[in-house]
Structure 1
């Protein structure tokens, strides 16, 4: 299991644990799952955040 998968699953489980039931809970789980996915992709090295810093590396 890659860090991407682990991050996505962690975000989904935490979202379910934090808010159980209703449409608001669905949106919260969706947001936390996406956040977990992004963190996992960053840890796998598949997400480059250097463009967000505004600095040139050259």
Structure 2
């Protein structure tokens, strides 16, 4: 399996425990899956953390 799929699966498993907390658990599940997918793509080498950090701090734009 690709690291992105594994990351999403790990995020889903972690978020499953959050489902015990009703609506907020659902929101946490979506957050955990997104974070898992992000780190999975980083493991594949498709995300450069330096460029993400630079974009978040305003040093570099996406264009």
Normalising TM by the smaller chain, what interval? Answer: 0.7 to 0.9
- The 5-angstrom pairing of residues 1-58 of structure 1 reads 1-51=1-51, 52-53=53-54
Normalising by structure 1, we get a TM-score of: 0.79
**Which residues of structure 2 form unaligned runs of 5+?**
none
Contact 2:18 2:26 (8 Å CA) reproduced: no
| Alignment size in residue pairs | 54
Deviating above 3 A after TM superposition, structure 1's stretches of 4 or more consecutive aligned residues are: none
Q: Structure 2 length as normaliser, TM-score?
A: 0.74
Deviation at 1:20, TM superposition (A): 1.8
Higher relative contact order (CA 8 A, sep 6+): 1
Q: Indicate the structure with greater helix content.
A: 2
